[in-house]
Amino acid sequence: MREGTPSTIYLKDYQPLAFQVDSIELRVELDPTQTRISSRLAVRRRAGALANAPLKLDGKQMQLTRVSVDGFELRRSEYEVDDESLTLTSLPDSCVVEIDTLIDPQGNTALEGLYLSNGMFCTQCEAHGFRKITYYPDRPDVLSRFTTTLIADKADYPVLLANGNLDDSGELDGGKHWARWVDPHPKPAYLFAMVAGDLSRVADSFTTMNGRKVALEIFVEHENVDKCAHAMTSLQKSMAWDEQTYSREYDLDIYMIVAVSHFNMGAMENKGLNVFNSRYVLASPETATDMDFEGIESVIAHEYFHNWSGNRVTCRDWFQLSLKEGFTVFRDQ
């Protein structure tokens, strides 16, 4: 049950944030009940912003364990924290803010942010889920380059995925492993995603109009590995159509889809790492109808088309939601 009375937000009250977050580096040590999140934000004051304007970061349902600015750890009296935010004052015009937090994915029954379901870590960040992962200006007009390092037990979570391109990976002591993903394109926090679990992979590729070979990968629960052919073909057709019709070429080295039965939404267009409920990906001629096949093609196309109409060209605020969704629906239909 919600507590308190929600406040009304008006378009006329929109103000840009006083600071820009140029990049964020995340280190995520996955654990069902005590996931450790370390974030490193490179921030700078916007031109024209008040010199004494504070940096207010959204955050909820997490335990704050450390805050530092340019390598100096702050005392409790040097920042303000409540149930909804972390506020830093007297910051220089540019600095590096580091924040350590603990979160409980297993206890996250709202399924916003990072949660654990059916033995798999998954995220849902649109519209305000990222603030349940770490303290951050969780609004669509703050575009940042994300680097994400995931660490987990290899036996339980052999697949570690996040936005962007896989930069490196390796083994650790104690049966753990890690993977670092780098997304070179600035994006809002609602497009962040990470997945960790025991999944099978179906792989193919697509050659773009400029001759770049893009790896295509669909991750599914093991028993569904033979039901991905139509989804893969639909993805390749969507990529070709966006090139032919709008001259929009895909902009990463890999495009991934995760399709699981327990995802809490229909589908989500996270940059380079779409997460789907399996009913919008899996199909076989023995069990699926013509409408099922058509529906899969449409939803695959819709989420892919968001790469340009919604992700690379995104919203300033949530009053513009209908622009990205309406245009993308027009494109997929």
In sequence order, which residues have a C-beta less than 8 Å from that of residue 232 and are 6 or more positions away?
202, 204, 216, 218
Strand order in the sheet with 113-117: 113-117, 120-124, 194-197, 159-162
Spatial separation of the C-alpha atoms in residues 333 and 326, rounded to whole Å: 11
Phi-psi region of 310 (alpha: psi -120 to 50; beta: other; left: phi over 0): left
- Would you call 80 a catalytic residue per the annotation? no
> CA dist 260 to 231, 272, 280, Å?
14, 17, 10
From the list 3, 73, 303, 325, the catalytic residue is: 303
Spatial separation of the C-alpha atoms in residues 315 and 46, rounded to whole Å: 19
Confirm if 132 and 244 have CB atoms less than 8 A apart: no
> CA dist 231 to 48, 156, 264, 288, Å?
48, 27, 20, 13
Q: Which residues are catalytic?
A: 303
